Structure formats: structure tokens, C-alpha cells
Amino acid sequence: PKARSAAAALRRLNSAVQYVPYRGALGPRSALRLVRQYDIVADCSDNVPTRYLVSDACVLAGKPLVSGSALRLEGQLVVYNYRGGPCYRCLFPQPPPPDTVTNCADGGVLGVVTGIIGCMQALEVLKIASGMGSSFNQQMLMFDALEGRFRNIKLRPKKPDCAVCGDNPSVTCLQDYEAFCGSSATDKCRTLQLLPSQDRISVQQYKELLDEQVPHVLLDVRPQVEVDICRLEHAVHIPLSKLEEKNEESLRYLQKRICEEKQRTDDQTSLPVYVVCKLGNDSQKAVKILQELPAKEFGSVLAKDIKGGLMAWATKIDSTFPQY
């Protein structure tokens, strides 16, 4: 467990400090009791529900929150609920749609970036604890590792109508944050349900279609860097980003492949286009885009996504297929 691993590593660095690891997920029932025991809280979580939970708990307990985050090559640092500064809800009153959120498990993160942001968090904790105050209770620190640049963004002040820290708060106790955010409080890979069941097939069903040589197009919508790791040889590759921006070259290429495959049929039925990605999340987004393509140009296309993506294929169909 991360908590025990961190405590063990810190004891080796400084045995004079008392470290108390809590094994288990933080939830609405335990958060306020834990937060009240400490003077300063550092949020190092990797999901939206936990960020709302920790921030609300700190407001209700009257504790400053040193919040850090990192994704890919970028990092952020803010201090919430400190010396009249805003809380997390002041900046983000409503959670983003769950299908728009990328976490580290899905998007990746460079470990050096988390180390830099973590050290900056530790510095702010020490400054607050020593009475020096924080530099980031009214500003957000943005770190771009690719450019090697730091910049500060001035934050809007505390909102008088904030649901938790405002003049007349409506949030007076901790709630179900997974329901509030529509996503799980975990840093593991997400499983989204964006399509009805009739627009999805399992990897076992797709394997049967392959074995029966049913005419179709398999569309792989992963980024090129993932396709370079592994792919199904017969798949057509168009990144989701190209579909989202309606890239003309990519759409013409897809139209060409659909027409070529339709020549194998009697042209009387809809040609199936099955969409695959790593986990079955981006493929659902791609299916929604394909369903809106003009029939005049693409003909009658029946788009479905493959549940669980290529990682389900590796687990359930082909054990030699690389997992990453």
C-alpha cells in the first residue's frame, strides 16, 4: 500500500518524526474525523471525487489544503481554504463530465513531474506550519516540464455564494462524491458507459466475427504512440483526435476503406464498423462521432465499439498480445 510504503521510506530519512499510515480508501465517513486530527492537509490524490471530498472536509474542519496534481508533462499547485482564499469548489463549483477527465492511469505521467510538484507541496506545508504563510493561496502554480517553465495564475477570490465555504453554505456535511462527480474515487483505469448495450460487442463476439470472415472495418482510435506498441494487423488506424476535429484526410481514408470492404458484400446491408481502443472508453466516443457521419458520403454504416478494448482482447482472447 502506498501509505505504508511512503511511511517506511520517510522513517529511513528521518526517524524522529511520527508517521501514521492509514491503509484504505478515504471516504465521506472517515475523512472529517481524520482531517480534524491535523493542522495542514496535503492532497496528492488522482481523481476528482477525492479532490472534492478532501476540500470539503478541510473547509468543514477549518484546515488549509495544499493541493498538487500532475499529468503527463504538466503539474499544478494551489493552496485552498487558507487566509481567506478560495476553496476547491470556489474554482470548480461543478465537476467536469466524467468522460472528459484523464487520470494518470489513462494518460500517463512522468515521475519527475510528480516529484517536483511533491517537493513544492512539502515546501508550502513547511511555510504554513512555520507561520511564514503560503505563496499560493490566491495563485495557482503551473509547471510545464517540456518547456521547463513555471508561471503563476491569479485566482478569483473566495466566492460568497460557494456551496461549502460561502456565506450561506448548502453543503454542511460530507456527501456521496462518486455520485456527485459521476465517476469512481480511484486512480485506476476508468470504465465508462457512454453507449447503450446494443451499440457494443464483447471481444468474444468480435473473435467469432473474425473467424466467420464477416465483412467489416476495424477502426483503431488510439494515439500513434500506443499503436506503435501493439496493434491488430487488420485494423485501420485513425486517432480519436482526428475524428473529433473532423479531419478531412482521415475521413476520406475511412470512407475509402469502408467502400473497399463494402465491395465484398451485396451492398444491400449496413457495413459494420467496429471501433477499438485500449480500454473501451475512447472507442465509445468514436462510435458517437461515426453515427453522425453523413450517409450520403459514407453510406449505411453500423458502428459499434468493442467493450474492454485491446486489453480485454489480451486477457480473454490472445494471451500473447502485449499489455501496457
d(CA 171, CA 97): 21
Q: What's the CA gap between 159 and 173, in Å, rounded?
A: 19
For residue 260, tell me if it sits in a domain. Answer: yes
Tens of pLDDT, residue by residue over 228-246, are 999 999 999 999 999 999 9
Residues 220 and 294 in one domain: yes
Q: Is 324 contained in some domain?
A: no
Selection from 136, 117, 139 nearest residue 72 by Cα = 117
Q: Tell me, what's the pLDDT at 287?
A: 96
Residue 210 C-alpha from the chain's centroid: 32
pLDDT at 190: 64
Within a domain: 175: yes
Q: Are residues 169 and 213 in the same domain?
A: no
Which is higher by pLDDT, 227 or 184?
227
Q: Is residue 57 part of a domain?
A: yes
Domain at 165, CATH number: 3.40.50.720
Inside any domain, residue 188: no
Report yes or no on 67 lying in a domain. yes
Q: Is residue 268 predicted with pLDDT exceeding 60?
A: no
Per the prediction, the chain carries an average pLDDT of 92
- 67 — pLDDT class (breaks 50, 70, 90): very high
**What's the structural domain count of the chain?**
2
Q: For strands 139-144 and 236-237, give the pairing.
A: unpaired
210 in the same domain as 156: no
pLDDT score for 269: 66
Residue 237, domain member (yes or no): yes
- Give the predicted TM-score (pTM) of the model: 0.69
Q: What is the per-residue pLDDT across 146-198, written as a single tens digit (0 to 9) for each?
A: 999 999 999 999 999 999 999 999 999 999 998 898 777 776 656 778 899 99
Q: Given this model, what pLDDT does residue 98 score? A: 76
Looking at residue 106, what is its pLDDT?
A: 67
Q: Where are the beta strands (DSSP E) in 235-270?
A: 236-237
- For 234, the domain range is 197-317
Active site residues: 104, 277
Q: What's the CA gap between 179 and 176, in Å, rounded?
A: 6
Mean pLDDT of 114-130: 97
Comparing CA positions, the residue from 291, 272, 275, 300 lying closest to residue 214 is 272
What local confidence, expressed as pLDDT, does residue 104 receive?
Answer: 67
